[in-house]
Structure 1
Amino acid sequence: KAVSNSRGSVTLTWTQQSGVTSYTIRRATSPNGPYTTVATGVKGLQFTNKMLKSGVKLYYTVSGIRPPGEVVSSNAAVVTTR
């Protein structure tokens, strides 16, 4: 889930996936990408992306990392920044 909670800020939340030890957050301006990595090694179930331009539609994916490197990716969540 992605929410634009204040000017230039988007907060992502997700549910715990079995065996996942950290998460990677990626962002794009198109649903088909290209996606840019904005955070790696995220340990919790929430991430806030700050200092974004207002009025931009963004697409985010969250990928869970399971040892020894298996990746479990989410569908894209879309949000328009305030």
Structure 2
Amino acid sequence: MMNCPECGHAAHTRSSFQVSNETKERYNQCTNIECGHTFVTHETFVRSVCHPQKISAAPPHPKGMQNNLLINTDPPLAGFVRLVPP
């Protein structure tokens, strides 16, 4: 959300498009019905605060256990899933 540069009320984004990998152009409209100012802003990436660590892919699920799934419908654990040993 951005404030209208004309009257100071809140302005909402009506549409936007990616100008580059680091910049987005937004078309905004003031929510003040007596103003209704429409204006363009640019949202630009400046810097990273914290870089994510390298993420390892999760190993695939083991095959052959798919038929051992049982849904418990007895209280007090109604709705919980329990694995039945093979």
Compute the TM-score of the two structures, normalised by the length of structure 1. Answer: 0.31
Compute the TM-score of the two structures, normalised by the length of structure 2. Answer: 0.30
